[in-house]
A and B are shown apart, each in its own frame.
Chain A
Amino acid sequence: MQADSTTSRPGHEDAAWLSSQITPGARRRLLLATAAGVLAGWLAIVQVGIIAWLVHALLVAGTDAERLTTAFGVWLLTIPLRSAGLAVRDQLALKAALGIREHLRQRLMRQAIDLGPVGLAHIGTGRASAALLDQLDALEGYYARFLPQCVLAVILPLSIIAVAAFLDWLAAALLFLALPLIPLFMALVGMGADAVNRRQFVALERLSGFFLDRLQGLATLRQLGRGADTAAEMRSTTDSYRRRTMSVLRVAFLSSAVLEFFSAAAIAMVAIYVGLGLLGYLTIGPAPELTLFSGLFILLLAPDVFAPLRELAQHYHDRAAALGASRGIRELLEQPSREPPRSAGGAVMPPEPAPVAVRDLRLAYGDSKCFLSGLSFQLDARSSLILTGPSGSGKSSVLQAVMGLLAPAGGSIHIAGQTVGAFRPGGLEAGIGWLGQNPQLLPGSLRDNICLAAPDASEAAIRRAADAAGVSRFADALPDGFDTEIGERGAGISGGEAQRVALARLLLKRPPLVILDEPTARLDPESRQLVLDALRRLTGQCTLLVASHQPEQFDWIRQHLDLRDYAAS
């Protein structure tokens, strides 16, 4: 790749990135797959050669039956060989593509874990999941079909033309001339079609967006009495989009029509050239030397000159999809982490409650604006502190800095006497229990969720934690109790119940440092009381750091810190 082409044509850069993702193992498989494809293509040449020879031998030369039988035998032999070549090509290429995809998936998942919640929130979980799911899947066709076919579309037509040149150089020249004409014409039509394709894509996107938009608000539309009208509106909008899309497709399909036309026209031209040559009507070039064998051979070769190109054209959308997807994947891969680096052989949190010391802390958005500065506090082991302040004053960010999720712009944080960076990955986390305002449960049973941090916990310990967090109160009324599946497939539970499950998870872990971020903000009164009671009992058993804009709920916590006093101006 030349340096200038990468800047002027972003598609090149994406394609270069895509090919740099091919692992050595996948490269070997792709090469073998391509070789198998070439072999199968060559066997096809042999097959049509045998057909032409048989016809010539039978109709013109009057060859004896024994040699005919031999030819039939050789032909029969090539049939499974050629099929095997095709099967090997497809299987190896698919294996290579899936290998590349899984390799990338691992890298992306590692990156998502390294980014952590702060970095992920920056890119958005929707975009991250799109990269990890749909965009990764979009790569399969590129590696499995498009890349091998790219090579085949060059080697096979040229091989065929070389064979044809032996038989009749003029016919070969005819095919050779038709060959570059195709990309040329396709490019001419394609220039318009490309823009048109993009517009169609945008139109289709907008149409699905419209469908989603209406589906999302269907309850509201019905309640407004607009249910029937929505259906009618959807009909008319889809119709108008369809009309617009079709006017676009009429142009876009021209490029494939050109390819189709050229390959058909080349066969027709070869047939007529060979026919007239055989009749002796043509005296130019090698035409007088044509025999039924060479004429028929060339005729049968002609479709195979264009077949690999047609197949490539069919896989062209694989390329477009992969190029588009690669951008989303790279965006996730190149997202910088906002966490402080850890040391591989570093410390682990001690099991007993630990002090937290924050000195002169500065926090900033990315590299730019500082929004909090000069924050210092000392939280002794087993003591509690509550951070207050209006929304946007940086309560969550301070907690994230203490939890090692956000690198401070200045100042220092010591937990159990160590800086965050002195812990090894997972070492700090092992000693922290966290509860936010929007608990996230994972698909699985209530028990799975409670035991997340302690998979080997005893039934009694689970029961104790669930009782203390108020989970048992609703779980016992459920038909499957703790084994009730939650998530998409199971019964939904309310936000307050989810928070109680999250609390039970925390209690079961018994962490020496507990960090709470607005743990009662979205709760119904019953859940709020249960959560607050459990948290009150926790006080004194661990070090407790809370952020809340309703500090009156935590009236047993004496130490308060108002973050408004530390806002950077």
Chain B
Amino acid sequence: MSVLGYFIRLHARRWRWLAGGLLLMLLAVLSGIGLLALSGWFVTATGLTGLLMAAGASVSLDIYRPGAGIRAFAVGRAVFRYGERLLNHEAVLRTLADLRLWVVNGLLPKRRQDLAQLRDGELLNRITTDVDTLDQLFLRLLAPSIVAALGLLAAGLLMAIWAPLTGFLIVVLLLAGSLCCIGWLIWRGHRPGTELAAAQSHFRQQLIASLNAMTELRFFDSDGRYGTALLDTGRHTARLRLQLGQQTALGDSLLTVLSQLAVWLTALFGIALYGDGAISGPILVMLVLTVFALGEILRPLPTAWQQLGRLQWSAVRLFGLRQSDSGPVPDESGSDAPAEQPLRMEQVSFRYRDGQPLCLDAVSLSLHPGDRLAIVGPSGTGKSALLDLLMGELEPLNGRVMLGDTMVNAIPPTRRARQLALLEQRTVLFQGSIADNLLLARPDASDAMLWDVLELVELAEFIDGMPDGLDSQLGPGGGGLSGGQARRLAWARTLLAPGNLLLLDEPTEGLPMDQGRRILERLSASESQRVIVMVSHASAVIPDTFRRLQLIDGHLQPRGDGR
């Protein structure tokens, strides 16, 4: 509950929208009650007056004010309901934005390995599902409960004008009854609810794994045990779902019994009061119909509270995502290190996981302006780790990486980006225009600068030929470009970065050999002042201007030729 409480507090900054939505919701509900209660009073009053008039008595009844009241309540109910839905959706959309920002801000200081997990579609799917579930927290759970409580209170006060004791008793009965009903649902629903959420997540994980492993299952599980187990898990979730659904149905009907019982009791008490002459006939009908209309505001409660388990589950998972280890968060204050500082690696050791052999073993490296360095070696030897360490994205096990006299991983990312630029091994592009993607590296770059880097990676002609040129839109993840084009666009983005140190991780991956080499040669010739460090498993693409080192068994060794 405390985690859910945290998310409820996250709503606090939207309190104006939420309060407005609540108020309109309450007004709509009260109009509905008012409509029925006043109509009942009016019909009874006219009926009694009509009889008296028929009997020849000289009586009069003001039909205009009640009539106007009935019309006002009728129009009010529709108008308030409409306004309530608009306001609440506005609030939900704002909360959704808040939640998404909360996720992004929480993830930003995470370690690189943790962020890399976000490429896993399932984790992403889980995050969005949890965010979408939690954005309903207010509208589905809190708002109906608050409105029910306030509506009950308002109805009780109204009844108290004529029948204080009856009003009090009925409100207490409905309040206590609803609370018991909700409490029972939470108590009974907690275990199956949590189990269901876990079972669904388990089922999802297993199903996706088995779809991906279709060939493996075909040849290593030829009698289909895995598929049978999967179906059993599916049936288990259905059973839990049914159990929860039956509880909700039971809760619903208990609440229906309760609210109808309240009407029955009101009629019973009211008749006694009428017999005593404490209230008139029309008032009696009004009291009964007020309680009659109250049923509507209690109805959403069981379903709302049944969701508590799911909401909690989502809240805990989202919260856990943010709670997991953060990398050190460098302070954003402090001055820029002056440009053209040498980058040094001092006795750095590194391994990805305890128990594995070191992939870097006390490696030292010093880079100066104009350096051209190529590190070769077969894939999987730790070349990418070396670049990530230079970039400050990974923590060395021993030793340190220094930019001038600052530890590189103590430099905040925004400052570091002005000095160092990394082309990752995996091409990452974003939804948006080509220009948007490039400008990520340098927001103030002119079009001429964009065309320059595109020219360098041999993409200018292609983009010039697109109908919208630099403004051509890319789909999610840079969709719409071929693998080679995407690679070169990411490369161009790295070149555009202002830093003096370029780190290129398998830059020619996915490109034809001769094109990769051509671009590297052009790059080496044009960027005379920049330091370029590249790693590659294909030594044939490396131009002769690059000094070559080989990474073997965690050690960097000189290597003369390209073969």
Interface residues of A (CB under 8 A from B): 47, 51, 54-55, 58-60, 68, 72, 75-76, 79-80, 82-84, 86-87, 90-91, 94-95, 98, 101-102, 105-106, 109, 112-113, 116-117, 120, 125-126, 128-129, 132-133, 144, 208-231, 234-235, 238-239, 242, 245-246, 249-250, 253-254, 256-257, 260-261, 264-265, 267-268, 270-272, 274-276, 278-280, 291-292, 295-296, 299-300, 303, 403, 405, 426, 429-430, 432-434, 436, 439-443, 452-453, 455, 474, 477-478, 487-488, 491, 494-496, 502, 505-506, 509, 511, 522-527
Contacts and interface: CB of A to CB of B under 8 A. Distances in A.
A276 B42 CA distance: 10
Contacts of A144: 245
Contacts of B74: 261, 264-265, 267-268
B224 A113 contact: yes
Contacts of B281: 55, 58-59
B46 A278 contact: yes
A439 B215 CA distance: 10
A59 B224 contact: no
Contacts of A246: 86, 89-90, 93
B215 A212 contact: no
Contact of B86 (A51, A128, A249, A433): A249
B335 interface: no
Interface string B194-207: 00000000011111
B210 A242 contact: no
Given A246-B93, A249-B89, A261-B78, 9 more contacts: A76-B264, A133-B207, A210-B431, A219-B112, A219-B424, A275-B67, A300-B40, A426-B222, A502-B216
Given A58-B274, A95-B242, A226-B440, A443 B209 contact: yes
B515 interface: no
Contacts of B366: none
Interface in B134-186: none
B380 A218 contact: no
Contacts of B49: 278-279
Contacts of B220: 433, 452-453, 505-506, 509
- Size bin of chain B's contact surface: 35 or more
A452 B417 CA distance: 48
Given A90-B248, A133-B207, A272-B67, A278 B115 contact: no
B462 interface: no
B333 interface: no
B441 interface: yes
A114 B29 CA distance: 54
Nearest to A495: B380
B2 to A, nearest CB: 24
B124 interface: yes
Given A217-B428, A279-B49, A487 B54 contact: no
Interface stretch (B18-26, B94-102, B481-489, B524-532): B94-102
B253 A60 contact: no
A385 B493 CA distance: 46
Instruction: Give the most central of B47, B85, B108, B267: most A CB within 10 Å.
Output: B47
B257 A80 contact: yes
Given A55-B285, A525-B378, A90 B245 contact: yes
Interface stretch (B233-241, B306-314, B368-376, B449-457): B233-241
B36 A267 contact: yes
A210 to B, nearest CB: 6
Contacts of B223: 426
Nearest to B117: A492
A231 B268 contact: no
B81 A257 contact: yes
A215 to B, nearest CB: 6
A295 B97 contact: no
B267 A271 contact: no
A126 B204 contact: no
Closest 3 CB pairs of A and B: A524-B380, A225-B417, A271-B39
A234 B220 CA distance: 46
A302 B234 CA distance: 44
